Amino acid sequence: MKKSTADAINILGQFCSKRDVECLNSAALLAKYSIPQADVFVLFGGSILAGGDLLAQAIKDQIAKVYVIVGGAGHTTEALRQRVHNEYPAIETAGLQEAEVFQRYLKEVYSCKADYLETKSTNCGNNITFLLDLLKENNVKCSSIILCQDATMQRRMDAGLRKYTSDDLLIINYASYRASVITENDTLTYSELIHGMWDIDRYINLLMGEIPRLRDDENGYGPKGKNFIAHVDIPEAVDEAFKQLKTVYGDITRAANPEYASR
**Sequence ranges of the domains in the chain:** 3-15+179-254, 18-173
H/E stretch holding 190 reads: strand 187-190
The domain made up of 18-173 has a fold known as Rossmann fold (3.40.50)
Asked whether residue 257 carries a pLDDT value surpassing 80, the answer given is: no
**What is the DSSP pairing of strand 116-118 with strand 187-190?**
unpaired
- Give the class (CATH, top level) of 3-15+179-254: mainly alpha
pLDDT at 2: 82
pTM assigned to the model: 0.93
Residue 253: pLDDT band (50, 70, 90) is low
Give the residue from 186, 227, 173, 159 showing the smallest Cα distance to 5.
Answer: 186
List 187's β-bridge partners, or say none: 184
Mean pLDDT of the 26-40 span: 97
Percent of the chain with pLDDT over 70: 95
Give the residue from 115, 110, 102 showing the smallest Cα distance to 76.
Answer: 102
Q: How far apart are CA 78 and CA 81, in angstroms?
A: 5
Mean pLDDT of the 31-37 span: 97
pLDDT at 260: 42
Q: How far apart are CA 242 and CA 11, in angstroms?
A: 9
Question: How many angstroms separate the Cα of 8 from the Cα of each of 3, 37, 236?
Answer: 9, 35, 12
pLDDT tens digit string along 96-154? Answer: 999 999 999 999 999 999 999 999 998 888 999 999 999 999 999 999 999 999 999 99
Q: CB neighbours (10 Å) of residue 32?
A: 12
Contact 224, 239 (CB under 8 A): no
Average pLDDT, the chain: 94
What are the residues whose beta carbons fall under 8 Å from the beta carbon of 18, sequence distance 6 or more?
Answer: 154, 155, 158, 173, 175
Asked whether residue 263 carries a pLDDT value surpassing 50, the answer given is: no
